[in-house]
Amino acid sequence: MPPSIENADTEKEPFNRESMHTLRILDEVATGKPLTQRDLSQKLGIALGMTNNYLKRLARLGYIQIVQAERKRLHYLLTPKGIAEKSALTYRYIKRSYQFFMEIRQKMGRFFEALSKDGVRSVVFYRATVITEIAVLVLQDSPLRLLAIVDDELAGQKFLGYPVEPVKALREMKFDRVLITAEDSVEKVAEHLGRHDVTKERICSIQ
């Protein structure tokens, strides 16, 4: 059982996965729309039984009220205490997100500086993600030049003003490094890009 739900201290407890599940449940309940445990289970990506446990604990804590409706359906209502908890969790989420942003920005800055010292001048970002957004921002203070963003799923669209190219476009590009801006491992990406004549030595990751 997730212990942080019952013992949450908004000033001391870190914002973790349990905090995120709690916030998302409170957000969904706050909409006032009909909601089933199966709906929540699918949206949170957790088991139905765990979703049921979360709802029972949140009701026991006084954050939500469970009301029996027609045909044995249950309705979930956000209580004043739940509204206060949702606000506190939202604040912690924003604070943690900002900390993550600053940490990854500093890490990327050092990484780009090291690439520049190694003689790298041009890079391609592999995949258009949240990490890519930060990388584009950090690259503005770097001597490195972004040639393209490649992502087969978003090919043909624009990302932060940059056209997203299919991975096969790498065959026609002259670049120094491909930077993985996703959770994919270097081995997995190297296997994929190897089909397009990109050697593993030209692939890098800040992980």
One domain, residues 180 and 125: yes
- Domain-embedded: residue 113: no
Q: Which helix (H) or strand (E) covers residue 118, if one does?
A: none
What is the percent of the chain with per-residue pLDDT over 90, rounded to a whole number? 71
Q: Which helix (H) or strand (E) covers residue 131, if one does?
A: helix 130-139
One domain, residues 35 and 72: yes
Q: What is the pLDDT of residue 89?
A: 95
Q: What is the pLDDT of residue 158?
A: 93
- Domain-embedded: residue 30: yes
Q: What is the pLDDT of residue 68?
A: 81
Q: Three-state DSSP class for 108?
A: helix
Residue 134: CATH number of its domain? 3.40.50.720
DSSP code for 166: P
d(CA 55, CA 38): 12
- Domain-embedded: residue 182: yes
Tell me: pLDDT of 207 over 80: no
Q: What is the DSSP string of 15-58?
A: --HHHHHHHHHHHHHHT-----HHHHHHHHTS-HHHHHHHHHHH
What is the percent of the chain with per-residue pLDDT over 70, rounded to a whole number? 92
Q: Do residues 164 and 149 lie in contact, with contact meaning Cβ atoms separated by under 8 Å?
A: yes
Q: What is the pLDDT of residue 33?
A: 85
d(CA 110, CA 85): 38
Tokens representing 181 are: 């801006």
| pLDDT single digits (tens) 164-178 | 999 999 999 999 999
Find the mean pLDDT for residues 78-100.
93
- Indicate the average pLDDT of the chain: 89
d(CA 78, CA 97): 25
The boundaries of the domain holding residue 89 are 3-98
- Domain-embedded: residue 109: no
Q: What is the pLDDT of residue 36?
A: 87
Find the mean pLDDT for residues 110-135.
95
Q: What is the pLDDT of residue 22?
A: 94
One domain, residues 63 and 19: yes
One domain, residues 164 and 91: no
| Residue 68 burial (C-beta neighbours within 10 Å; 0-12, 13-18, 19+) | exposed
| pLDDT single digits (tens) 36-76 | 899 899 988 999 999 999 999 999 999 999 888 776 678 89
64 phi and psi angles, rounded to 5 deg: -135, 160
Q: What is the pLDDT of residue 13?
A: 62
Find the mean pLDDT for residues 89-117.
92
One domain, residues 89 and 176: no
One domain, residues 187 and 125: yes
User: How many structural domains compose the chain?
Assistant: 2
Tell me: pLDDT of 180 over 50: yes
Tell me: pLDDT of 4 over 70: no
Any long-range contacts for 150-155 (C-beta under 8 Å, 24+ apart)? Answer: 150/124, 150/125, 150/126, 150/178, 151/126, 151/127, 154/128
* Cross-strand partners of 158: 163
- Domain-embedded: residue 24: yes
Residue 88: CATH number of its domain? 1.10.10.10
One domain, residues 74 and 125: no
One domain, residues 80 and 150: no
One domain, residues 157 and 200: yes
